[in-house]
Chains A and B, each alone.
Chain A
Amino acid sequence: MKTTGQVVGIISNIVVVKADGPVGQNEICSVYLGDIRMMAEVIKVIGENAYVQVYDSTRGLKVGDRVEFEGHMLEATLGPGILSQNYDGLQNDLAKLEGLFIKRGSHTDPLDYEKQWEFKPLAAPGEKVSAGAWLGQVQEKWIEHKIMVPFAMTGRYTVKSVAPAGNYRIKDTIAVITDAEGKDHEITMVQKWPVKQPIRAFVEKPRPSRIMETGVRAIDTFNPIAVGGTGFIPGPFGAGKTVLQHAISKQADADVIIFVACGERANEVVEIFTEFPKLDDPRTGHKLMERTTIICNTSNMPVAAREASVYTGMTIGEYYRAMGLKVLILADSTSRWAQALREMSNRLEELPGQDAFPMDLSAIISNFYARAGMVLLPNGKYGSVTFIGTVSPAGGNLKEPVTESTKKAARCFYALSQGRADSKRYPAIDPLESYSKYLEYSEIKAYLDKRIEPEWVSLVMQGKTLVQQGKEAYEQINILGDDGVPTEYHERFWKSELIDFVILQQDAFDKIDANCPIVRQQYMYKLVLDVCRKEFDFAGFEECTSFFKGLINLFKQMNYSEWDSDKFRDYRSQIDQMVAAKTKEA
């Protein structure tokens, strides 16, 4: 029998419930306000009182109102039909909700229980299987959605029967498997999993060994992220975090994209709702929306569900990873999630850590990032979850607790700088502050040697050094004045500007420039490096300045032109002439 209880106290969305039976930490319960059933999660138990956080407004709730405990933690429902859905943080299907406004206590099914799926068996009777093993598959959009032994089933099983190919609904039995004691278990296409626990149906998590191409030069060329890697993008407001994340979600070479809009603006999600169904995925030719699932808990939706939303997104990602797919999860922004933790901790009157955040913030963030990664599945295939979160540091100060904690957990750091944003140098990824630890991985180096060209990473390092030298030269020029330094200082500065304008900056709103394939990145980067290696003959700094301005203009036109078109080649030859005319005789 279910444990029930009564409301005995209310402070904002924390409700104290006197329970009449056993209650588990993080157990889900339903709080009834008349007919309205609101979900809540147990976050603390003291004696017979359970403190629950309600995923809704508690307005009008009274002492004595009824509560029912559900006996399980917050779960995600996993099965075919998740792709291209729009869920809230608790996996309610937003499209199915009635009315313009979200009524309190609205619940909708995340999956369609009536839809027929064309099923193909993959396993045969007699096969030994365990959690995560592939029993069959259905075609979901353009991916082969594997039907697996539910992750919650521990131990070894033997397949007794698998349904023949045909059309089934997700609740139909598609296989029967027998456990060691000889007991039969019927398997359907849908399973549940508690979101706060990682899915561990894999053999091992090897080190990442290839990069995820995003079409963003400042990332792919300068600080690439690995498939199965982790990265984060901190930046003050207005620095372009969201534009950058949207660009990555459009262009990244992933099979499945999960976009978690966590406590951010609703209009940004609307942009995805509106644009993704129209945009083509450059690799498959399908619509972008077909590979995208949105988990949307915008800033005005209940705060408690904000925390749940990132876990729901991660769980869905891990589910698709177990099918051997490349999953990319983007969360915007993890700071809002941390703030939700802070609000809760504050209401529970816990002793606060730095900036009133809970003491265990750092541990919570590390545990979460650790769920990403590439995994080796029991059947020898690989799947991956790549995670990129944005962080919104208070006051743009990177020394605040969320940024610091995330820095310890994530391997790529894309610092967006206010200065670059102010001078409209987008994406505002600071070339010197940012880093990718993956450039140090021997596996990644070897991969890039093959994928792009031998010794690619050392070319990248040369570029970084040039940018660094340019910055130093710029400081000297600023201190001593244009005339006070040798022309070589200007040359050095302008070479770094060339890298900045041509490689680091990219117009996310230009059809052609927005997405730069790796081969084009290589071509442009090498062209720029060639110019940087040359020594020029200038009469003075003014000539140097106008030469490079002209050169940058030509390079930019090249970035705007169709790859390898006549115009592209024409700009190229203009550049060659311009450079040759001013190069110092050897």
Chain B
Amino acid sequence: METKAFQKIYTKIDNITKATVSLRARGVGNDELATVGGKLAQVVKTDGDRVTLQVFAGTEGIATNSEVIFHGTPPMLKVSDDLAGRFLNAYGEPMEGGAQLEGEAREIGGPTVNPFKRIQPSELIATGIAGIDLNNTIVSGQKIPFFADPDQPYNQVMAMVALRAKADKIILGGMGLTNDDFLFFKQVFENAGALDRIVSFVNTTDNPPVERLLVPDMALTAAEYFAADKGEKVLVLLTDMTLYADALAIVSNRMDQIPSKDSMPGSLYSDLARIYEKAVQLPNGGSITIIAVTTLSGGDITHAVPDNTGYITEGQLFLRNDSDTGKVIVDPFRSLSRLKQLVIGKKTREDHPQVMNAAVRLYADAANAKTKLENGFDLSDYDERALAFAHDYSEHLLSIDVNIDITRMLDRAWSLFAKYFSKSEVAIKDELVEKYWPKEA
């Protein structure tokens, strides 16, 4: 943030609140960056010659005579191949004093891809996890969050998915990441020898919360560079979007806006959509896929953040601890990938859609049987078989520590069907049953 020659320096701030300062200044553009007493700030409101600035790091220590210098541009990120392997802060500056970035400075939060120029996503992203690949297949250009309780191992699962997926670049946007989790990601990426294809923008819990607001835009500007300019397949990991939304709420509250549901700003939907909609499949082969984390409070998905997220993203993945097997599984009932229809049975084996549905339906029968059992009713023979099936299904397919390809997942599902059920109970199209029902047994 070096000062340039001939910049006008203002030294008369006449209003200071927790997050904003205002002063009289002319010729200032909307959204422009400024430095206020050495801290970065952004123009959020102009009224005649009265300019209100939001100070990202908070206004502690700012005095009415602090120096205000306008930069003349909105927040920028320098993009080039130099980004690869870097750990950057919310302003796109190297953490821990690395060398400054080289490259072309681009505005973050730039324009939208023309929807007409988008390509329909059609490339499967395999993760080896059946809860994802079999039941909720992810496709390049998709945006999908994990809805997880804070105690679930979502960062670990996300790191696993990131490394198994064959992406050219992985961009980590960490918002309010604990230092421990940040070091975890760093270590996992280093151990995998994948550092040269990873870029990280990190705001840890040590940093001021409002700075987080810049992280997704920074990460996605970098992603757009690699996808649009270089034609690469980019996977963007955003964790945790709930903390991002909390920062939005803080700012809107300090700007005296009327809150809507759950104290969130009325513009929450648009604010989140602006980020998630950067996921795209481009005609040049490049793509941006976003996998995010939205932490829930007490599993409540009707809260404004998961609720709005669900309407924006193309599905959601739930993690669950399965008490029968003691494994962490991707919940087959509540998880959904909206784009799976584009690849299942097309890029994967023809029986994929029906096998997937039949397995989930039988798993649901098991859940009903379990409820019966808990309510003290006798189980029928079918119920018993369904329960046994559910146990095996959970252990040998859904568990996140299973790592096999989709064809093997399908074969495994057929053998479980044959082990516990008759053909008519499975109720799959006859042609497929004839072809794939295990012959022996």
Contact = CB atoms under 8 A, between A and B. Distances in A.
A and B: interacting chains: yes
Interface string A490-531: 000000000000000000010000000000000000000000
Interface of B: 26-32, 44-49, 74, 107, 110-121, 141-142, 228, 257-261, 266-267, 269-270, 273-274, 277-280, 282-283, 301-304, 307-308, 310-312, 314-316, 333-334, 336, 338-339, 341, 353, 357, 360-361, 364, 372, 375, 377-378, 380-382, 424-425, 427, 429-430
B302 A346 contact: no
Contacts of A22: none
A380 interface: no
A539 to B, nearest CB: 13
Contact of B114 (A102, A340, A394): A102
Interface range for A: 35 or more
A94 B114 contact: yes
Nearest to A96: B116
A499 B261 CA distance: 39
A342 B29 contact: no
A549 B271 CA distance: 47
A355 interface: yes
A267 B273 contact: no
A142 to B, nearest CB: 23
A557 B430 contact: yes
A301 B115 CA distance: 10
Interface in A334-382: 336, 339-340, 342-343, 346, 352, 355-356
Main SS at interface, chain A: mixed
B120 to A, nearest CB: 4
A9 interface: yes
Interface in A444-495: 481-483
A267 B311 contact: no
Contact of A560 (B118, B314, B429): B429
Contacts of B377: 481-483
Interface stretch (A58-66, A120-128, A405-413, A433-441): A58-66
Interface of A: 8-12, 16, 57-64, 86, 94-95, 97, 99-104, 236-238, 242, 263, 265-267, 269-271, 273-274, 296, 298-301, 303, 336, 339-340, 342-343, 346, 352, 355-356, 392, 394-397, 422-424, 481-483, 509, 542, 545-546, 549-550, 552-553, 556-557, 560
Contacts of A8: 47-48
Given A266-B280, A273-B116, A394-B261, A557 B429 contact: yes
A538 B112 CA distance: 63
A86 to B, nearest CB: 5
A553 B424 CA distance: 7
A300 B116 contact: no
7 contacts: A9-B48, A59-B31, A62-B27, A63-B28, A102-B111, A300-B112, A342-B266
Nearest to B364: A423
Contacts of B74: 59-60
B32 A63 contact: no
A102 B44 CA distance: 24
B383 to A, nearest CB: 9
B113 A100 contact: yes
A356 B375 contact: no
Nearest to B120: A274
Contact of A300 (B258, B274, B341): B274
Nearest to B342: A271
The 3 closest A-B pairs by CB, nearest first: A395-B302, A299-B273, A300-B277
Contacts of B111: 57, 101-104
A305 to B, nearest CB: 11
A315 B31 CA distance: 35
Nearest to B31: A59
Contact of A343 (B267, B310, B353, B372): B267
A102 to B, nearest CB: 5
A9 B31 CA distance: 13
Contact of B277 (A99, A299, A352, A422): A299
Contacts of A60: 29-32, 74
A550 B424 CA distance: 6
Contact of B361 (A263, A274, A343, A424): A424
A100 B116 contact: no
A100 B269 contact: no
Given A11-B44, A270-B119, A274-B120, 15 more contacts: A12-B44, A62-B27, A86-B115, A94-B115, A94-B116, A101-B114, A103-B111, A104-B111, A263-B270, A267-B120, A273-B118, A300-B278, A346-B266, A542-B382, A545-B380
A422 B333 contact: yes
Nearest to B309: A237
A301 B278 CA distance: 11
Contacts of A103: 111
A60 B70 CA distance: 12
Contacts of B380: 482, 542, 545
Contacts of B27: 62-64
Max chain A C-beta neighbours (<10 A), residue from B111, B114, B115, B338:
B115
A61 B30 CA distance: 5
A270 B283 CA distance: 12
A163 B277 CA distance: 49
A57 B74 CA distance: 12
Contacts of A299: 269-270, 273-274, 277, 312
Contacts of B333: 422-423
Contacts of A424: 357, 360-361, 364
Contacts of A99: 114
Contacts of B115: 86, 94, 266, 269-270, 273, 296, 298, 301
A549 B257 CA distance: 56
A299 B277 CA distance: 7
A8 B26 CA distance: 11
Given A10-B30, A343-B267, A355 B277 contact: no
Contacts of B361: 423-424
Contacts of B375: 481
A266 B334 CA distance: 23
A556 B110 CA distance: 50
Contacts of B315: 238
Given A300-B112, A395-B302, A483-B378, A267 B314 contact: yes
Nearest to A341: B266
Nearest to B357: A424
Given A336-B269, A482-B380, A549 B114 contact: no
Contacts of B32: 60
Contact of A266 (B31, B118, B311): B118
Which of B48, B116, B270 counts the most A-chain CB atoms under 10 A from its CB?
B116
Nearest to B275: A300
A63 to B, nearest CB: 6
Given A270-B115, A356-B260, A482-B377, A62 B339 contact: no
A10 B27 CA distance: 13
A536 B195 CA distance: 68
A355 B378 contact: no
B269 A238 contact: no
A339 B269 contact: yes
B424 A238 contact: no
Contacts of A64: 27
A165 B47 CA distance: 59
Contacts of B308: 394
Given A10-B30, A299-B273, A394-B261, A63 B48 contact: yes
Given A238-B310, A356-B260, A394 B116 contact: no
A488 to B, nearest CB: 18
Nearest to B110: A101
A71 to B, nearest CB: 26
Contact of A9 (B47, B316, B429): B47
A95 B260 contact: no
Contacts of B336: 238
Contact of B257 (A296, A298, A346, A395): A346
Given A10-B30, A238-B310, A101 B334 contact: no
**Which of A58, A242, A296, A343 has the largest count of B CB atoms less than 10 A from its CB?**
A343
